[in-house]
Structure 1
Amino acid sequence: MASTAIPATSRAQLERADESWVDFRLAIAAMGLEAFGRTTPAGWTQQALIAHVAAWHEVSAERLRDFRASGDPSPGPDLSDDAFNARVARDTAALTPAAVVSRLDASWSMLRAEIAALSDRELRAHDGWAASVVAANTFDHYREHRVEVFAEVPLTPRALRMSMDAAWRRFRAAAVATDLERTSSAGWTRKSMLAHVAYWMSQVPVELPVRLAGRRSPTADVDAANARAAERAAALDRAGILALLDRGYRETVDALAALPPDTEVDFMAVRLVAGETYEHFRQHAPELEDATA
């Protein structure tokens, strides 16, 4: 059912959009890039589904931008929804899954900025036109596709391990081939980045029992932890960095191996494992790949 009530404030609208986005985006992260070629019950691939969400983000951001500039509702694409979706699927079919995820994240940043810029008056103007655009292309849209996306989320230790292993092989091969002393596009050395990845993997066995109980530990000081990992990396050679990385992965594998392999676990645990393994590998893979070109 579509949302019809206009939020009292623009801030309330933004908070609702943020909350729904986090849930949807975490499900995509947990799904993993390997699932992008699989067909959903609706008949399109996961990649086409995600690309279409990104495209509607982009269109909506443009419409809201035009609306704030002119004060008048801005029309959507000069195509039916089905025709627009088909065009997006064709135009993005040749992209890599990683490129589609990058486009999704960029499109959300664009749309979120436009939602945040709406005043309370603008949100309610024209019978809540802006509010309806936001709802249709964020929380209502994510809810529409939630079942399709979650159908590919690995919910058992065995399924998680399969998602991890495929991404791990690619990431580790890139780590072996890269120049570890070079500074990455993120501004740290590649060996510092790998030490950071290894550290956060090593935290999975610590946090996993908490997540399995449906809870989470207090938020860590991420910057301090990353600084310690970078400091540790400075004293390690190539073999030491790779050993650190391997140990972090092995500890995560061992933590999953201790669980019943085909029993579903709490999604909070899935988020943890995915976020510190294959989704984390995806985030940092470009820093390794631009060094091996």
Structure 2
Amino acid sequence: MSDGSNVRVFRGQLVCPSTGFQRDAVCKLAYGQRYMTRVATEARLYSGKLKRLQGVYVPQYHGHFVGQTDEGPASCIVLDYCGKELDLLFLAMPVEFKRALICAMSAIYDAGIRHFDIRNRNVLNNNGLPVVIDFGEAEDHVCERTMEIVEGVAAPMDYHFGCDELHQLCIDLRIWKPGMFKYITSYRPVQYLYRPYTLAEMAPDDWSYDDAVDEAYRAIGEHLEEFYPEDYAQWCSIVDEIPLPSQARLRASDSTLSLGGGGFTSAMNGSRSSSSEDQ
């Protein structure tokens, strides 16, 4: 299947004549101490913390072998064949596959392992379901994730989420909607989508208050139109009914703005429960 200078992967049949056992398998063969150590790490994890995930999120593991070859010491692990490497970027995969990949990686983290090398070549497509491989760089790990992964909500900040690798994977897969939106020259947390007048206070000093409010409404509307289209029409009707304030007059209150129970509100509630950015 692959033939590198230090690691070679072969596909074949695992057969036991006495029992009739037969499996489509791969043999990952490593030469040199560095690569043999990585294979040994994989063997330890497959036979330990990943054992209950075998055949579901990771391949079935059949053994670790060490010996001498014409090319020197070598070691190998034998695993079930679980499909081909992805030929598409994660983002281009079907949504069901992406959801399953999040489940797989969450289970791996919950088992006490950090992978450290999540990319296309280390995820197989097994009849439409992901199987994660290559744990040579993985480490024992206590995941500090503080919340469940909820699809379709605004992305929490990584330091609130608590697990940077899973957080980045969710971002890469577009599991969440953006957690930030652009206002003038900087990005602000989506909590400010509720608070255009507070947002206007963050405009650069050379912006007039009226212009800052105009831009706040425009930036919020643009974000809602793209990511919360089910709420965009309601937002437009709210904007039409509220006169924009002038700095010389009493400023409008953010509390006068409220969307109904649509997608934006639901998504924001999922994010607000884990964030203090709106304080």
For normalisation by structure 2, the TM-score amounts to 0.23
> Which structure dedicates a bigger proportion of its chain to helix?
1
For normalisation by structure 1, the TM-score amounts to 0.22
| Structure with greater contact order relative to length (CA < 8 Å, sep ≥ 6) | 1
